[in-house]
Amino acid sequence: QPAIVGLRDEELLMMEDCLQRLHLELQHSAVTHDSEMIVDEESFAVLYQGAVEATISVSREQAATENAMLRLEARKRMFSAEYGEQRRARLSLPSWTQRQKIIDTIASNRVVVLTGETGCGKTTQVPQYLLEEAEALGFGAEVHIIVTQPRRIAAISVAERVAWERGEPLGKSVGYVIRLEDMPPRRHGSILYCTTGILLRRLQKADGLAGVSHVIVDEVHERELDTDFLLVVVRELLNVHPYLHVVIMSATLDASIFTRYFGGCPHVNIPGMIHPVQVYYLEDLPQLMGQFFPPATRQRKLGCSDEEDIDFELAAAVISWIAQYFAKGAGAILCFLPGWDMIAMLRDRLSKTPASKGMAIMALHSQLSAGEQRGAFTHPPGGMRKVVLATNIAETSVTIDDVVYVVDCGKIKHRQFDPSRNMTTMRVQWTSQASARQRQGRAGRVQAGFCFRLYTRDVHARMLEHQIPEMQRVPLEELCLQIKAIAAPNVSSQVAEAASPGSNMSQLKGTMAVNTGMNDIAMFLSKALQPPKGTSVFAAVKVLRQLGAIDQYENLTPLGRTLAKLAVHPRFGKMLIYGTLLGCLDPLLTIAAAACFKDPFVVPISKRDEADKMRENFAINSAYASDHLVLVSAFEQWKKANLAGQGHSFCERHFLAPMTMKLIAGMRYQFEKTITEARVFDTWVTSDLEARTHVARCILTAGLYPNIAKSELCRESKGMKNATQHAYRWRLGFCVQNGRVFIHPTSVVNEKHLDPNKHYYLIYQEKVQTSQIYLRGCTLLPPLALVLLGWNVSISSDSGAAISGDWMLLEVEGWLKFHIDRRAGLLLLELRQAF
């Protein structure tokens, strides 16, 4: 006799899912009526058990064995002397006092926001508490926790730490996955630390969360692009995965923005063990430091320190003063600077001071390899003072244990993209009050500490309260493409497949589709914590449409699907596809891989000329100078040297970052694999190296269009100028559609080497405004490449404007004009159609 069993919406969905996945044969079939699902109780029991098993993806027997094993291991850890050191370290953390509260709140809520000062034990302890609790209760195998980290190195170092605390090697119950490197843990009863991007990519697959019990989104206060995006996705996924628990972790105390975002979810705060930190501002320093205070700084008015400048002399003086004035061995000095180049500069200057003999100066920034970074965490030999020069990576994401003094320049390097001008401005700016507070806190970890702010109280009062989230600062093409890719398998296709018209089910799922709103990029982004501007989204969608990644209804095209899988900016993805098509994939693999990381050329300030020369040596001898092809030949030569075991010395000689070169090699391999797997086309390679490089150069257009500039003669004032006398000279310069621009000084494209009587066209990767507008990543191109491979180029071939019967005038986008052989021109136009 069938009985009606009341099911919650999400249960209903889950069961459907189970039926499909487990192919369960039901004794009595479940029937869907108009408005209710009718299931007899026996079938319900089978289904329900199936559902539970499906979420943990193991059979009941297997789970029982694993659970018993985990329980034994947990006991061992708890009671054996072997783990004494680990236990002591863990029990001393502030998070320990809140252990039960954290476990209980997470167990009884779908979403919990957890806050606590950096170092209190959020990242390393909370996942362990959850796993250990389950282990002790005998269902450890049902727990699989994913913890996301914004940075690669943080993911590794934290996983290593937790594995140590559990007395295991990595890859058992604790592991990590980052791009190009993984050491994943077992699937059941485990904690996985991964970068946010990795989880987002996993979510592109429909069963991306199979077996996952908890998702912990860490470091949300950084408001990094991927993290903000993940929050939107996670909020939607709560509807689809009824047994998923989500924890949001932040190092800032004010969590209201996050709790509000998750419908007023509970908030647990871990009270800090931060010791008091005495804060001094710039105006306090002359008196404190006395003769140590640099006279140059004194002469400049303290109140109007320039926003873009770093006073290296002052920073060096403060550091040496601390090193001498405060007792030796009593704690490390941590100095915050905006970028690695400034770290190098301060390091140079510091090493010239007499105090530097007693210092172990370490750098800490994301350009360093994991090995090089370790220096910052070691303890120097007795009597030496550790000085760590760091970017804001040391603000929250990594913790240096023995810091007592913080020297804060108060600046940050800030990128801001302006969609209306297609331009990125990059400036050193004042940081926010929130991050100043965070930096200060780093001094009070071991004992009462000191924070020296190299700016005035007045400047501090005028700082922004919080940083502007990355989502409002960067171009959004890659993000928008990912939104489409995530939307497709997870929600829309399931909905489309399973919904039968008219039934309750389809209504239910229909609502979900509407609720998740993943079909509409703008609508999706409007659900973000702090949504990006409409113009930004619009600009990104336009680029995607012109690239051919989405169609006019914003549906992913087959090209778009492949581009999303490539995990590179779609512009570069498209180049890879053209490269495959036209038989010159290899150089483009390097170019696209390099675009994923920072510039591999590391330019020490003191050796700028030497470094520039080295870079120019890599330039291929051709009429068309190219920064992109410089990367290609640098990479090729490095590869050879590396095979001969001389990669490192090669990098040193040529001012390349060895870590970045290795990352590029790994990325190249991954792209190649994805392209082969996607079976875009059969890879066909021309054997003519020169032709291959030239075609690759032209293909840059397919991705970077419409970022083009053309040369023009500019009149420049020369030398002295007064009211009566003007001296001018003519110089070759470049212009983009609405104005004059400059080639970035690091580029191998050098206006001085070009013939002023000729026309040049170039394609650039980025237009950056610092003191002037600079084009970065430039490649000179034959104009035909623009006509053939530019997107949606409006070409007019007005025959009236033709000079003679054999020539025609092609006008691209109304501002680039070429004369071209008529037959070639017509052929070109025809070829364009084919693309």
Contacts to Mg ion by CB under 5 A: 122-123
Distance CA 755, CA 623 (A): 11
Of 390 and 709, CB closest to ligand CDP: 390
Of the candidates 331, 318, 286, which has an alpha carbon nearest to the alpha carbon of residue 410?
318
Between 114 and 343, name the residue whose CB sits nearer to ligand CDP.
114
Going by C-beta distance under 8 Å and a sequence separation of 6 or more, which residues neighbour residue 121? 90, 93, 94, 95, 96, 270
> What is the helix (H) or strand (E) element at residue 15, kind and residue range?
helix 9-22
Q: Residue 156 CB, nearest distance to Mg ion (Å)?
A: 14
How near is the Cβ of 121 to ligand CDP at its closest, in Å? 4
* Residue 744 binds which of Mg ion, ligand CDP, none (CB < 5-8 A, kind-dependent): none
Q: CB of 399: closest distance to ligand CDP in angstroms? A: 5
Q: Minimum CB separation from ligand CDP for residue 180, in Å?
A: 20
- In the bound state with Mg ion, the residue whose beta carbon lies nearer, of 123 and 213, is 123
Q: How far is the CB of 163 from ligand CDP (least distance, A)?
A: 11
Q: Which is nearer to ligand CDP, 128 or 670 (CB)?
A: 128
Rounded distance between C-alpha atoms, residue 591 and residue 696, angstroms: 10
Residue among 123 and 190 whose Cβ is closer to ligand CDP? 123
489: which DSSP letter? I
Q: CB of 393 within 8 A of CB of 429? A: no
* Least gap, CB of 192 to Mg ion (angstroms): 15
Interacting partner of 87 out of Mg ion, ligand CDP, none (Cβ under 5 to 8 A depending on kind): none
Residue 602 near residue 657, CB atoms below 8 Å: yes
Strands in 277-280's sheet, in edge-to-edge order, are 277-280, 449-453, 403-408, 332-336, 385-390, 359-364
Q: Whole-angstrom Cα distance, residue 506 to residue 490?
A: 16
Q: By C-beta, is 99 or 188 nearer to ligand CDP?
A: 99
Following DSSP, what letter does each residue of 136-205 receive, concatenated? HHT-GGG-EEEEEESSHHHHHHHHHHHHHHTT--TTSSEEEEETTEEE---SSSEEEEEEHHHHHHHTTS
Question: Least Å distance between CB 443 and ligand CDP?
Answer: 14
C-alpha span between 525 and 70 (Å, rounded): 42
Nearer to Mg ion, 62 or 399 (CB): 399
Supply angle C-alpha 483, 488, 494, rounded to 5.
140
Ramachandran sector of residue 259 (left: φ over 0; alpha: ψ -120 to 50; beta: rest): alpha
Q: Which of 120/406 has CB closer to ligand CDP?
A: 120
* Nearest distance from C-beta of residue 242 to ligand CDP, angstroms: 28
- The partner in contact with residue 769, picked from ligand CDP, Mg ion, none with C-beta cut-offs of 5 to 8 angstroms by kind, is none
**What's the closest the beta carbon of residue 165 comes to ligand CDP, in angstroms?**
8
Residues 401, 377: contact at Cβ < 8 Å? yes
- Closest approach of Cβ 295 to ligand CDP, in Å? 40
Measured from the CB of residue 548, what is the shortest distance to ligand CDP in angstroms? 43
DSSP-assigned letters across all residues of 759-826: --EEEEEEEEESSSEEEEEEEEE-HHHHHHHSTT--EE--GGG-SSTTEEEEEETTTEEEEEEHHHHH
**Which residue has the CB atom at the shortest distance from Mg ion?**
123
Chain centroid to CA 770: 22
Closer CB to ligand CDP, 123 or 580, in the complex: 123
Give which of ligand CDP, Mg ion, none residue 131 binds (C-beta under 5 to 8 Å, depending on kind).
Answer: none
From ligand CDP, Mg ion, none, interface partner of 706 (C-beta below 5 to 8 A by class):
none
Residues that bind ligand CDP (CB under 6 A): 93, 116, 118-125, 157-158, 161, 399, 401
Nearer to ligand CDP (CB atom), residue 157 or residue 580? 157
Distance, CA of 328 to CA of 382 (rounded, Å): 9
Q: Let me know: does 170 contact 160? Beta carbons within 8 Å.
A: yes
- Output 118 or 227, the one with its CB closest to ligand CDP: 118
Pairwise CA distance, residues 520 & 516, whole Å: 9
Q: Which listed option, ligand CDP, Mg ion, none, makes contact with residue 412 (CB within 5 to 8 Å by class)?
A: none
* Cβ-based nearer residue to ligand CDP, 96 or 538: 96
Q: Rounded distance, CA 127 to CA 116, Å?
A: 15
Instruction: Quote the least distance from Cβ 685 to Mg ion, whole Å.
Output: 46
Helix, strand, coil abundance in the chain, percent, nearest 5: 50, 20, 35
DSSP secondary-structure letter at 492? I
| Beta carbons of 554 and 522 less than 8 angstroms apart | no
Q: In angstroms, what is the minimal distance from the CB of 249 to ligand CDP?
A: 7
Q: How far is Cα 793 from Cα 784, in angstroms, rounded to an integer?
A: 12
- Taking CB within 5 to 8 Å according to partner kind, which of Mg ion, ligand CDP, none is near residue 158? ligand CDP
Closer to ligand CDP by Cβ: residue 45 or 91: 91
- Least separation in angstroms between residue 117's CB and Mg ion is 10
**In the 8-state DSSP scheme, what is residue 550?**
B
399 interacts with, out of Mg ion, ligand CDP, none, CB within 5 to 8 A per kind = ligand CDP
Angstrom CA distances, 387 to 390, 402, 675, stand at 10, 11, 46
- Cβ proximity to Mg ion, 92 vs 500, nearer residue: 92
Pick 122 or 144: Cβ nearer Mg ion: 122
At 340, give phi and psi (nearest 5°). Answer: -65, -30
Helix 122-137 crosses helix 152-165 at what angle (to 10 degrees)?
40
The least distance separating ligand CDP from the CB of residue 268, rounded to whole angstroms, comes to 13
- Nearest CA among 776, 754, 749, 761 for reference residue 709: 761
At position 40, the amino acid (one-letter code) is: D
Q: Which does 144 bind (CB under 5 to 8 A by kind): ligand CDP, Mg ion, none?
A: none
Q: Which does 331 bind (CB under 5 to 8 A by kind): ligand CDP, Mg ion, none?
A: none
Nearest distance in Å: CB 447, ligand CDP: 14
Minimum CB separation from Mg ion for residue 671, in Å?
31
Nearer to Mg ion by Cβ, of 165 and 236: the residue is 165
Q: Which amino acid is at 87?
A: R
What's the CA gap between 472 and 363, in Å, rounded?
A: 30
Indicate which of Mg ion, ligand CDP, none lies near residue 125 (CB less than 5 to 8 Å, by partner kind): ligand CDP
Helix axes 570-581, 689-704, angle to 10 degrees: 140
- Comparison of 125 and 429: residue with beta carbon closer to Mg ion: 125
Query: Residue 776: which of 663, 665, 626 has the closest Cα?
Result: 626
